[in-house]
Amino acid sequence: MSSPTRAVIPLHAAPEGAALLAPPEAVGPHLRDTLGRPLRDLRISVTDRCNFRCSYCMPKSVFDRNHRFLPQADLLSFEEITRVAQACLPLGIKKIRITGGEPLLRKQLPTLIKQLADLRQPNGERLDLTLTTNASLLARQAEALRDAGLQRLTISLDALDDPTFRRMNDMDFAVADVLHGIEAAQRAGFASIKVNMVVQRGVNDDQIVPMATYFRGRGITLRFIEYMDVGHTNGWQMQQVLPSAEVKQRVHDQFPLLPLAASVPGETAQRWGYANAQGQHDPSLGEIGFISSVTQAFCGDCNRARLSTEGRLFLCLFAGQGHDLRHWLRQGEDAVTLSARIAGIWQGRTNQYSALRGQAQASAPDQPKVEMSYIGG
Ligand code: SAM
Ligand code: SF4
Ligand code: SF4
């Protein structure tokens, strides 16, 4: 096995050239990849840095003081990020998620949020604009983000038990820091807040029921995420994955659940509602979700592209290569050509890593998979 330090560095840009430009008739919301999937969701990483060292994402042994994060000059500016988002509008994107690293570490983030909130789809509608954060810095930023036009928030929290949480973030952040962030977000008027919990067998699976108990009836949707084999540094092993079916059973034994329909096509989470004494979904108790990318791959519906902090477009969370858009942005490429370029890249998309997981064609063995902290969740 290659050394982990080596594995996080060599990410290459795909070859650039006129061949990537899509013909004009393909540039529109009817754009499809090779498996017939549209582009609807753009995830934008605004930093590769983080103040946590979650062992499943940025283990301290690799992301230590010798780790070289991207230099400032390599990062896309807010203006460049907005140009990419604008170029994706004619291609049918409906949603943008800001992520990282820890996005709240990026200075003046509300300025970017405002620029993205001002964008409109071709039909005049706003984009669904959301952000994923560890919430450690949220208490002091929630209001500014909300005022800038951020609509929704996803907050990561892996345990309610303080020692377990401190162990998992490995930087001694307390559960209370995150809960204060959530309260501040609610006060700031965020109507839709989701909490993501990555479940690792033997690490935090005793927190499943306490987390469900805490968030049930609080207007917050808790989502359980299967521990994934992203990147090369977390030492992932299948034995540490607790299948969603088992997680659901543990919650259901405590609080009966009912399946709910997907709210939008391509939704990553399977939705379940809490039942009342009559066996019907009680909306006041809320719902929970399961993101089962290991045991029930959802590549068939995957409509997500990811823009890395320094402007590479990745077509899959498990891709080894990104397409270098920064090169074209800094060449002063106009919006129409940039749209055609992104359309051309999407047209060639074949990725379905999770569906093929374990098979030789899932990813080329000599290609490193990108790290989650670099590309965002
Ligand atoms: N720092 C922010 C946070 O933690 O919310 C945003 C970036 S983080 C990479 C995005 C999401 O990816 C988080 O919800 C995190 O729990 C999840 N994640 C990271 N590594 C993962 C893994 N190996 N398996 C499953 N989810 C993972
Ligand atoms: Fe940081 Fe988020 Fe990764 Fe944890 S999951 S190390 S908070 S980027
Ligand atoms: Fe999408 Fe890749 Fe995840 Fe499949 S493995 S759902 S293609 S990001």
Instruction: Give 269-304 pLDDT, tens digit per residue.
Output: 999 999 999 999 999 999 999 999 999 988 999 999
Distance between alpha carbon 49 and the CA centroid of its chain, in Å? 15
CA distances from 99 to 151, 344, 376, 377 (A): 14, 25, 5, 7
Residue 9 lies in a domain: no
Residue 326 lies in a domain: yes
Q: What is the pLDDT of residue 5?
A: 36
Cα-to-centroid distance, 5 and ligand 3 (Å): 25
CA 373, CA 230: separation in Å to the nearest integer? 10
Q: What is the pLDDT of residue 58?
A: 96
Asked if 99 contacts 43 with a C-beta cutoff of 8 angstroms, the reply is: yes
Our mutation pick for probing the ligand 1 site, out of 8, 98, 106, 132, counting the most ligand atoms within 8 A of Cβ, is: 132
Number of domains in the chain: 1
Q: Which of ligand 1's atoms lies nearest the C-alpha of 230? A: 23
CATH code of the domain containing 118: 3.20.20.70
Q: What is the pLDDT of residue 232?
A: 85
Please work out whether the CB of residue 56 comes within 6 Å of at least one atom of ligand 1. Answer: yes
Residues of the chain with pLDDT under 70: 1-19, 358, 360-367
Q: Of all protein residues, whose CA lies closest to atom 5 belonging to ligand 1?
A: 133
Q: What is the pLDDT of residue 367?
A: 61
Residue 14 lies in a domain: no
Residue 235 lies in a domain: yes
Cα-to-centroid distance, 338 and ligand 2 (Å): 31
Q: Which of ligand 2's atoms lies nearest the C-alpha of 63? A: 6
CA 196, CA 224: separation in Å to the nearest integer? 6
Residue 19 lies in a domain: no
Instruction: Give 241-274 pLDDT, tens digit per residue.
Output: 999 999 999 999 999 999 999 888 778 899 999 9
Its domain, for residue 165, covers 24-62+70-375
Residue 5 lies in a domain: no
pTM: 0.93
Residue 49 lies in a domain: yes
Cα-to-centroid distance, 275 and ligand 3 (Å): 31
Least Cα distance to 80 among 377, 332, 370, 372 occurs for 332
CA 367, CA 320: separation in Å to the nearest integer? 6
Q: Of all protein residues, whose CA lies closest to atom 10 belonging to ligand 1?
A: 377
Q: What is the pLDDT of residue 149?
A: 98
Q: What is the pLDDT of residue 377?
A: 74
Residues with CB under 6 A from ligand 2: 50, 52-54, 57-58, 100-102, 134, 156, 373
Amino acid at position 209, single letter: V
Residue 12 lies in a domain: no
Cα-to-centroid distance, 31 and ligand 3 (Å): 18
Q: Which of ligand 2's atoms lies nearest the C-alpha of 101? A: 8
Q: What is the pLDDT of residue 6?
A: 34
